[in-house]
Amino acid sequence: MGRPAAADAASSLADKKAAILGAALAMFAERGYHGTSIPDVITRAKVGASTLYRLYPSKEALVNAVFVRAKERLEAALTRGELTPAPRPEDPRSYFRALWNRLARFAREEPTAFHFLELQDHTAYLDAQSRGVELRVLGPIFAACSELQALGIFTRDVGADAIMAFIWGSFVGLVKAERTGYIKLTEATFAATCDAAWRAFAAPTKSYAARRS
């Protein structure tokens, strides 16, 4: 027996939605929000205008859908596997390294999504859902920085939000430098820069060991 017509229609619409979001992601990453037009997305996605507007009635609705989809993929990349929800006092550096490595893997596996998410300013058009997803993704990282401060491992001279911004910005700058041809990022480079980011805020090992004894 063949599939019901309703199932075929739903599958076709899902394929078109994926084509639209994929085309829009590529164009927003290449040209930015203001440089991307809906007609260009329609042409690239190879769908009809009525299909796109039925799913996304405006460019703002479309870019928010792209943002949420990409941010959720980043969230999945950061939280998959055995990563614990907070640093363990006996081995906090492994938690930090795991987050850094997962971020590096996402940047490697999904460069277009990373470029769109982290190398553009989205504040002008993000809606409440997008802002909620943004906070959900950044929340555990902020909590980890706060916990590392509470454990006496990270300095308390600056706020956890500033520490997170510094570390996050450093990683984004590395990827941007490679994308623009200034450096070549290898696994060794990622590991060395991870250690440098850790040392920027971590207390000397002897001091931490003394506090635990």
Per-residue pLDDT tens digits for 44-99: 999 999 999 999 999 999 999 999 999 999 998 888 755 555 666 678 888 888 88
Q: What is the pLDDT of residue 89?
A: 65
Give the pLDDT of residue 107: 94
Region of residue 181 (left: phi > 0; alpha: psi -120 to 50; beta: else): left
Secondary structure (3-state) at 201: helix
Pair of tokens at residue 130: 């997008």
| pLDDT-based confidence at residue 206 (cuts at 50, 70, 90) | very low
Return the CATH fold of 59-212.
Tetracycline Repressor; domain 2 (1.10.357)
What Rg, from alpha-carbon coordinates, does the chain have?
A: 21
Reply yes or no on whether the pLDDT at 213 is more than 80. Answer: no
Mean pLDDT for the stretch of residues 107-129 = 93
Portions of the chain given CATH number 1.10.10.60: 1-57
**Mean pLDDT, residues 115-120:** 91
pTM to 2 decimals?
A: 0.85
Q: Which of 156, 120, 146, 143 is nearest to 32 (CA)?
A: 120
CATH 1.10.357.10-classified regions of the chain: 59-212
Separation of alpha carbons 98 and 93, rounded Å: 9
Give 3-state DSSP helix, strand, coil % of the chain, rounded to 5.
75, 0, 25
Cα 107 → chain centroid = 8
Q: Which fold has domain 1-57?
A: Arc Repressor Mutant, subunit A (1.10.10)
User: In the prediction, which pLDDT does 94 show?
Assistant: 85
Average pLDDT (95-123) is: 91
Cα torsion angle, 192, 198, 199, 204, sign: negative
The pLDDT tens digits of the residues spanning 138-197 come to 888 888 889 889 888 999 899 999 999 999 999 999 999 999 999 999 999 999 999 999
pLDDT exceeds cutoff 50 at 207: no
Q: Which residues pair with 155 in a beta bridge?
A: none
**Paired tokens of 134:** 């943004």
